[in-house]
Amino acid sequence: MKSRLTTVIGITALVLLSVGIVALFSLWSDKIWPIDKTRLSQAALQSPLPAPTRGLTPTLRQVTPIEAALEYQRQFLPSKSGQPQVLLTRSVRFKDYPELGLGTFVPAPGSDPQLELVLLKGSFDTSNYGVTQRVPFKQAAYVVVVYDLEHKAITNVTLSVYGDDIKPLLEMAGEKPFTPTSSQ
């Protein structure tokens, strides 16, 4: 009887030891990680766009121009008035910039990528905005983001405090610029 008990305890201990070894092995084995690796990858892919004009590597991240614009705004131009309003989305080319109030840009010879313009309205905090020099205003009512569909990157971000700098775009969206007294 005692011998049988010893044998059972021994076998149980051996089984438990084996289970422990297998558990430890599986813990460090690559075979248990695929699901978790997927989660890590998804977490990495959900990280926000960090700066102006960063390319969105297609194999890593597929976003629409509106998503790219809103993601950029969320990270760098936080809204003081809730969710910004998408006033306008429009397919444009670089040659359209002057008539839209975006200045003039001449691309490299032979390059004429299709662009998507997104116009956002809100109350955007610009107090920390600026890549190499800080902008001289603390708030803007409008953000224009131009997304290069060919190069999968934001190519232009324009801020307007009142909207009078981008009046043609506002007119397309049925908007009128603020007056300084009414907006700030």
Partner 1 sequence: MSNSATSIRRVLVIGLIASVMLFTHVSTGGAVPNAYDFQIAAKKSGVWKGIDVDLIMFDPGLQANSDKFVAAPVALTTYWTSAIFIEIGPIKTCYANQTCQLRPYYSYATNTASGFSEDTTRLLASGGNYGYKVDKTNVNNEFQAIFCSGGGCGAVWTQNMGRNDFPYVFTALETTGGARLWPPIKISSPQAKDANGAWGSWCFDSINTTHPDGKVVPNPCVPSNNGWELRSGYQAFIPIALKD
Contact residues for partner 1 (CB under 8 A)?
16, 19-20, 23, 26-27, 32, 36, 39-40, 43-45, 47-57, 60-61, 75-76, 102-109, 111, 113, 126, 128-137, 148, 150-151, 153-162, 164-166
Closest distance to partner 1 from the beta carbon of 102 (Å): 7
Residue 84 or 166: the one with the smaller Cβ distance to partner 1 is: 166
Cα 56 to its chain centre, rounded Å, is: 9
Query: What does the radius of gyration of the chain's CA atoms come to, in whole angstroms?
Result: 28
Residue 3 or 182: the one with the smaller Cβ distance to partner 1 is: 182
Closest distance to partner 1 from the beta carbon of 129 (Å): 7
- Could you tell me if 77 and 124 are in contact, meaning their C-beta atoms sit under 8 angstroms apart? yes
Residue 131 φ then ψ, to 5°: -85, -55
Largest distance between two CA atoms of the chain: 98
Residue 39 or 80: the one with the smaller Cβ distance to partner 1 is: 39
Residue 145 φ then ψ, to 5°: -120, 125
For the record, the structure tokens of 177 come out as 């610029």
Closest distance to partner 1 from the beta carbon of 136 (Å): 4
Residue 168 φ then ψ, to 5°: -60, -40
Dist CA 58 CA 17 (whole Å): 48
Closest distance to partner 1 from the beta carbon of 4 (Å): 25
Residue 1 or 94: the one with the smaller Cβ distance to partner 1 is: 94
Residue 6 or 29: the one with the smaller Cβ distance to partner 1 is: 29
